[in-house]
């Protein structure tokens, strides 16, 4: 008994380690593994235990790496997985809160052109040798220097952290949201189950099929004389257009959006499904993927899709106001859009009356001019399971009211 | 004649050590084995190899987007019965003559232990795997029309393949053993190639592998060439008698390796860039 007990210790540690690392190892799998140990299916050597335990406990190849790290930590001398220890990054990892700024302070913050900014950034990185928080010069957190994060500067360079004011003209940070589980708000399967409700059944097209129940009824009424009842099959007539923001501020949500795309794309139960991407705001061109150089014209997409199409836009709606309401305001320097983004959004909304906007940001973050403008045009729901359910209910609800004209005073070419 | 008790791969199917062990474990624990991996890494062939190696019969259930869990158990052919009652003089009282067992039903009813392959389970509806949970667990089901119970005489070896097109439900995953067939290393790939082309010259193999792994390394390919494409390509190279050295300059019949138009365009662009090998 005591020998058994000792033997069980590292195994329990493995289970706790795996669960602690966020791997969804349940008791069912654990009991299976214990059964395998008891019946000596596993050879009495660590390498065999390693691979058999992996096959029983881990059900996705993306989790293998984490399993390896936990396993090594429990059974070997290796260390438990730790976050990256880069010194600069560690200063930036625990941001100090930003004090509220007065209007004068905001006005006082200088706005620098991009190349000057870059030059200064590199220069200050060379000079800086310690942690800085709350200042206005060094790379740090919570301050008003143009460099660092969690601070405020109208056109600064973000270093690490996530953009709190979401208008940094350029992101000098690596993607830090590589963790699969921490942002796992909903998985593909749950999304697919929710999206499945988005259907519109009708019996109009296709090869007729035998309606067995009706045939039996009719045959009985006919005193046994066979009468076949045929009906066109029930087909889902719903069309879906999915537009996804892949601009810089959406980077933290890339996985979530990807999941929504694969759920919608994999479902294959719609009559027509189109998916395009855009950067921050929709203009005259939509792109088929994040990397696509050539796009398709937004007008073309609007024209070819039936007005009855369900339009689902995914984006944080957070951008510089100019990107939304000014001609030539697009974030890409070489992109010269004559028509402001808000006009395009309005056109989309008028063409597709059944439309929703899914925002991956938590609802409490929905602040700022652009979010407000967009949510006046589109019913906005959070990109969570409840939000998705709500959005689908909204799409399916009765006939929506037509959309009015766009208020021309919203469009501004100068600030 | 003794039946082999562990899976060793076959002459035609080279399995890695890991895979061989995991198959043995799944057979011993009587759990379904879920196999994932890049397309073309031999997921489906694995079931055939297991059946060959263990000397069991193989029953295959190719799942389609319209498949329902019920189809795997049995189908009640009501239309035939209706037809017989009307146009034939057959007796239609015996419903069991109109019950046709599906692959799962046949695997249960078989006197000998069989291998059951449920191929591409992710093709079907999202609820499909959950609908099979009970039957795979209990290895029995009842046909309500006849009241008959079909129970497994010998628990079949269940092999399930998935291309990850859809996520599988948790409850289903918890009950299965999982193996991911990773893409073969160069050494294992050389073994696999030799099994299929024993006459292939060492030089051609060497150059072909260089080109193949270089192609796989190109960033942004939508569908990277896999084992089955490599084998097709090598077959084509041998049939046309390409000089091994020429592969350095140029990849002939690239269409056998790269199937998507976008990927071909991507390669053409990459070749034009600096350091490319030209056309």
What is the rounded distance in angstroms from the CA atom of residue A258 to the CA atom of residue A276? 12
Domain hosting residue A224, numbered range: 207-236
Q: Is residue A12 part of a domain?
A: yes
User: How far, CA to CA in Å, does A272 sit from each of A42, A236, A306, A308, A356?
Assistant: 50, 10, 10, 11, 18
Q: Which of A51, A59, A198 to mutate to test the interface with B (most CBs of B within 10 A)?
A: A59
B25 CA to chain A: closest CA distance, Å? 6
The pLDDT, as a whole number, for residue A154 is 41
Write out the two tokens for B58. Answer: 């193989």
Task: List chain A pLDDT tens, one digit each, 415 residues.
Answer: 444 444 456 678 888 888 888 888 888 888 888 888 888 888 877 778 888 888 999 888 777 878 887 887 777 654 444 333 333 344 444 444 444 445 555 454 444 455 555 566 566 655 555 544 445 554 444 444 544 444 444 444 444 444 433 322 222 222 222 332 333 446 777 778 778 877 776 666 567 788 888 888 888 777 777 788 888 777 777 889 999 988 777 888 887 888 888 888 877 778 888 889 888 888 888 888 666 667 888 998 999 888 889 999 999 888 888 888 888 877 766 667 778 888 999 999 999 989 999 998 888 888 888 898 899 899 999 888 888 888 988 888 867 777 888 888 888 776 5
Task: Please answer yes or no on whether B178 and A55 come within 8 Å at the CB atom.
Answer: yes
Residue A140 sits in the same domain as residue A35? no
Question: Quick check: A353 and A400 in contact, CB under 8 A?
Answer: yes
A325 and A253 assigned to the same domain: yes
Question: In this structure, are A196 and A218 located in the same domain?
Answer: no
Closest CA to A145 of A135, A160, A131, A155: A135
* Closest in B31, B167, B179 to A187, CB measured: B167
The burial class, CB within 10 Å (0-12 / 13-18 / 19+), for B75 is middle
Q: What is the sign of the dihedral through the CA atoms of B270, B271, B274 and B275?
A: positive
User: What kind and span of H or E run contains A297?
Assistant: strand A295-297
Q: What's the CA gap between A15 and A391, in Å, rounded?
A: 39
The chain B residue lying nearest A219, using CA atoms, is B82
Contact list, B169 vs chain A (CB under 8 Å)? 189
Indicate if A329 and A231 belong to the same structural domain.
no
CA dihedral B211→B216→B218→B222, nearest 10 degrees, is 140
In this structure, the answer to whether residues A103 and A18 fall within a common structural domain is no
Cβ partners under 8 Å of residue A336, min gap 6: A328, A330
Note whether A251 and A105 are same-domain residues: no
Q: Is A200 helix (H, G, I), strand (E, B) or coil?
A: coil
A251 and A221 fall within a common domain: no
Q: Is the domain of A251 the same as that of A138?
A: no
Query: What string of pLDDT tens digits covers the 279 residues of chain B?
Result: 445 667 887 777 888 888 888 999 999 988 999 998 877 788 888 999 999 999 999 999 999 888 888 899 999 888 888 788 878 777 778 888 889 999 999 999 999 999 999 999 988 887 888 888 888 888 899 998 888 999 998 899 999 999 876 678 888 888 899 998 888 888 888 888 888 888 888 888 888 888 888 888 877 677 788 888 888 898 888 888 878 778 777 788 888 888 877 778 877 777 665 443 433
Residues of chain B neighbouring A32 (CB-CB closer than 8 A): 29, 31
Say which residues have a Cβ less than 8 Å from residue A173's Cβ, sequence separation at least 6.
Answer: A149, A158, A159, A160, A161
A63/A129 same-domain check? no
Would an 8 Å CB–CB cutoff place B178 in contact with chain A?
Answer: yes
- Among B6, B16, B25, the strongest candidate for a mutation testing the A interface, having the largest count of A CBs within 10 A, is B25
Beta-sheet strands, E only, within B84-241: 99-101, 114-119, 140-143, 148-151, 157-162, 177-181
Q: How far apart are CA A77 and CA A143, in angstroms?
A: 41
* CA distances (Å), origin A297, targets A277, A284, A288: 12, 6, 11
Q: Which residues, in sequence order, are bridge partners of residue A285? A: A297
Cβ(A344)–Cβ(A315) below 8 Å:
no
Same domain, A219 and A285: no
Domain assignment present for A179: no
For every residue of B79-107, DSSP letters joined together read HHHHHHHHH-------GGGGEEE-HHHHH
DSSP-derived pairing of the beta strands A209-210 and A230-231: antiparallel
Neighbour-count burial of B57, counting CB atoms closer than 10 A to its CB (0-12 exposed, 13-18 middle, 19+ buried): middle
Residue B81 forms contact with A (CB below 8 Å): no
Of the candidates B126, B177, B178, the beta carbon closest to that of A193 is on B126
In contact, A198 and A395? CB cutoff 8 Å: yes
Q: Where are the domains of chain B?
A: 17-181, 186-268
Distance from CA of B95 to the nearest CA of A (A): 16
Q: Do A36 and B175 touch (CB under 8 A)?
A: no
Say yes or no: A167 and A192 in one domain: no
Distance separating alpha carbons of residues A324 and A377, to the nearest angstrom: 13
Residue A180 counted as domain residue: no
Q: Which residues of A touch B (CB under 8 A)?
A: 24, 26, 28-29, 32, 35-36, 39, 41-42, 48, 51-52, 55-56, 58-61, 64, 187-189, 192-193, 196, 210, 212, 215-216, 219, 224, 226, 266-268, 291
Q: Is residue A177 part of a domain?
A: no
Contacts of residue A410, Cβ cutoff 8 Å, sequence gap at least 6 = A325, A342, A373
CA B108 to centroid of chain Cα atoms: 21
Domain count of the fold of chain A:
4
- CA A367 to chain CA mean position, Å: 19
How many angstroms separate the Cα of A133 from the Cα of each of A108, A173, A181, B61? 19, 18, 30, 63
Is the Cβ of B20 closer than 8 Å to some Cβ of chain A? Answer: no
Query: Under CATH, domain B17-181 is a member of which superfamily?
Result: P-loop containing nucleotide triphosphate hydrolases (3.40.50.300)
Same domain membership, residue A13 and residue A43: yes
Answer yes or no: is A370 within a domain.
yes
Containing H/E element for A349?
A: helix A341-351
Q: Which of A357, A406, A362 is nearest to A384 (CA)?
A: A362
């Amino acid at each position: 008994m005591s020998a058994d007990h000792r033997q069980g210790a590292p195994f329990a540690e493995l289970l706790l380690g795996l669960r602690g690392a966020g791997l969804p190892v349940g008791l069912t799998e654990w009991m299976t593994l214990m059964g395998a140990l008891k019946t000596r299916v596993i050879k009495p050597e660590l390498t065999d235990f390693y691979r058999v335990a992996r096959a029983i406990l881990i059900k996705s190849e993306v989790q293998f790496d984490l399993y390896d790290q936990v396993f090594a930590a429990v059974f070997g001398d290796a260390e438990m997985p730790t976050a990256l220890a880069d010194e600069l990054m560690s200063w930036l990892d625990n941001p100090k809160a930003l004090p509220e700024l007065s209007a004068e302070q905001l006005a006082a913050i200088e706005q620098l052109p991009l190349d000057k900014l870059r030059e200064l950034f590199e220069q200050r990185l060379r000079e800086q040798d310690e942690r800085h928080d709350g200042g206005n010069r060094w790379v740090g957190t919570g301050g008003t220097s143009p460099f660092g994060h969690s601070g405020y500067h109208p056109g600064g360079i973000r270093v690490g952290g996530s953009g709190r004011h979401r208008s940094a003209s350029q992101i000098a940070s690596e993607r830090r949201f590589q963790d699969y589980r921490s942002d796992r708000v909903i998985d593909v399967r749950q999304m697919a189950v929710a999206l499945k409700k988005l259907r519109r059944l009708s019996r109009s097209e296709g090869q007729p099929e035998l309606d067995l129940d009706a045939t039996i009824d009719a045959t009985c009424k006919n005193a046994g004389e066979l009468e076949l009842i045929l009906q066109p099959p029930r087909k889902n007539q719903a069309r879906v257009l999915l537009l996804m923001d892949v601009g810089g501020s959406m980077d933290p949500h890339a996985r979530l959006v990807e999941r929504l795309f694969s759920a919608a794309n994999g479902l294959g139960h719609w009559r027509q499904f189109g998916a395009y991407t855009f950067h921050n705001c929709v203009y005259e061109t939509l792109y088929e993927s994040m990397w696509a150089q050539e796009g398709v014209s937004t007008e073309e997409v609007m024209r070819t899709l039936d007005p009855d199409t369900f339009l689902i836009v995914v984006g944080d709606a957070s951008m510089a106001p100019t990107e939304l309401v000014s001609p030539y305001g697009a974030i890409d320097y070489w992109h010269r859009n004559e028509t402001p983004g808000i006009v395009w959004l309005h056109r989309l909304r008028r063409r597709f009356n059944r439309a929703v906007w899914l925002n991956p940001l938590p609802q409490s973050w929905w602040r700022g001019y652009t979010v407000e403008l967009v949510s006046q045009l589109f019913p906005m729901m959070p990109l969570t399971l409840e939000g998705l359910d709500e959005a689908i209910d909204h799409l399916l609800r009765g006939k929506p009211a037509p959309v009015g004209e766009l208020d021309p005073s919203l469009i501004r070419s100068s600030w | 004649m003794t039946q082999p008790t562990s899976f060793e791969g076959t002459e035609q199917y080279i399995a890695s050590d890991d895979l061989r062990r995991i198959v043995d474990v799944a057979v011993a624990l009587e759990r379904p084995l879920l196999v994932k991996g890049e397309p073309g890494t031999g997921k489906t062939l694995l079931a055939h190899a297991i059946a060959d190696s263990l000397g069991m019969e193989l029953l295959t259930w190719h799942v389609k987007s319209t498949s329902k869990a019920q189809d795997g158990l049995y189908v009640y052919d009501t239309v035939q019965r209706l037809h017989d009652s009307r146009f034939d003089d057959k007796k239609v009282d015996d419903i069991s003559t109109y019950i046709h067992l599906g692959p799962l039903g046949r695997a249960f009813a078989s006197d000998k232990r069989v291998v059951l392959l449920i191929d591409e389970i992710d093709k079907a509806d999202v609820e499909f795997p959950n609908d099979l949970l009970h039957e795979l667990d209990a290895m029995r089901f009842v046909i309500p029309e006849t009241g008959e119970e079909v129970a497994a005489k010998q628990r079949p070896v269940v092999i399930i393949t998935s291309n990850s097109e859809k996520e599988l439900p948790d409850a289903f995953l918890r009950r299965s053993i999982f193996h991911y067939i990773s893409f073969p290393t160069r050494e294992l790939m050389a073994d696999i190639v030799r099994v299929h082309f024993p006459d292939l010259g060492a030089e051609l193999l060497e150059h072909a592998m260089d080109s193949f792994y270089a192609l796989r390394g190109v960033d942004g390919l939508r569908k990277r060439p896999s084992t089955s494409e490599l084998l097709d390509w090598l077959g084509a190279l041998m049939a046309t008698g390409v000089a091994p050295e020429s592969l350095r300059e140029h990849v002939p019949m690239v269409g056998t390796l790269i199937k998507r138009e976008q990927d071909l365009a991507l390669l053409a662009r990459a070749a034009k860039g600096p350091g490319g090998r030209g056309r």
